[in-house]
Amino acid sequence: MARIEPRTFTLEDGTQLLIRTGEEDDAQVMLAYLDDLDGTTDHTVTMPDERDIDEPKERAWLRERLDNPGELALLALIDGQLVGELDVRCAANRRVIRHHAMLGISVRDGWRGRGIGSALMITLIDWAADHPFIEQLRLGVFADNHGALRLYEALGFVREGVRVRAFRRDSGDYVDDILMYRDVKDRQGVALPAT
């Protein structure tokens, strides 16, 4: 069961940010959040008209994160409003690859650039560093997502490869996928701090 103790961050402007595990009952709020995300970023791989989820499916998705020991869904809330989310998945039932986990993250438009993404990532790194079998975090990022690249590099992620022209926008433009990873433990298994 993947859960964290709720954690509070104080943003630079003094705003209190709560980060906690996503629960099944958050499904409706998550769906509304995803609707609001539409049109605010061209750095996601699922287009609004391709999203095929409803409340039961979203509940099941959140349940899966809770049930799988190598997976986690984190929500970021300010005054009860969902302002960001992060999820991480790993193949916990495959010994050869279960030491790495793949993450995805987003922050609500209007709240970006205030430290919420960093707080979500720090919470994830701390969880992973303390995890019994996860040793590395991995992600893929659009090569033109300069803000996200800066965030990841600031937190110690390094570029490990490029999937050339992995993304094709409706405009016909291609964008490379930059693959990045970050160790959360050293070779002796000692946790590496988030910052």
Ligand X SMILES: CC(C)(COP(=O)(O)OP(=O)(O)OC[C@H]1O[C@@H](n2cnc3c(N)ncnc32)[C@H](O)[C@@H]1OP(=O)(O)O)[C@@H](O)C(=O)NCCC(=O)NCCS
For the bound state, the minimum distance from the C-beta of residue 99 to ligand X, rounded and expressed in Å, comes to: 22
For the bound state, the minimum distance from the C-beta of residue 42 to ligand X, rounded and expressed in Å, comes to: 9
Largest CA distance in the chain: 48
Pick 63 or 112: Cβ nearer ligand X: 112
Look up residue 138 and give its amino acid.
R
Pick 59 or 122: Cβ nearer ligand X: 122
Cα 63 from Cα 25, distance rounded (Å): 10
Q: Is 2 helix (H, G, I), strand (E, B) or coil?
A: coil
Contact 182, 156 (CB under 8 A): yes
Q: Which of 7, 43, 89, 185 binds ligand X (CB under 6 A)?
A: 43
Segment interacting with ligand X (CB under 6 A) among 21-29, 56-64, 94-102, 103-111: 103-111
The values of phi and psi at residue 74, to 5°, are -110, 140
Name residues contacting ligand X, limited to 132-151 (CB under 6 A).
141, 145-148, 150-151
For the bound state, the minimum distance from the C-beta of residue 93 to ligand X, rounded and expressed in Å, comes to: 26
Q: Does 105 bind ligand X (CB under 6 A)?
A: yes
Q: Which of 18, 89, 99, 118 binds ligand X (CB under 6 A)?
A: 118
Lateral strand order in the sheet of 174-183 = 7-10, 16-21, 72-78, 81-89, 100-107, 136-142, 174-183, 158-168
Q: Which of 6, 48, 110, 113 binds ligand X (CB under 6 A)?
A: 113
Q: Which of 20, 100, 114, 131 binds ligand X (CB under 6 A)?
A: 114
Exposed, middle or buried, 14 (CB in 10 Å: 0-12/13-18/19+)?
exposed
Interface positions with ligand X (CB under 6 A) = 41, 43, 105-107, 112-118, 141, 145-148, 150-151, 154
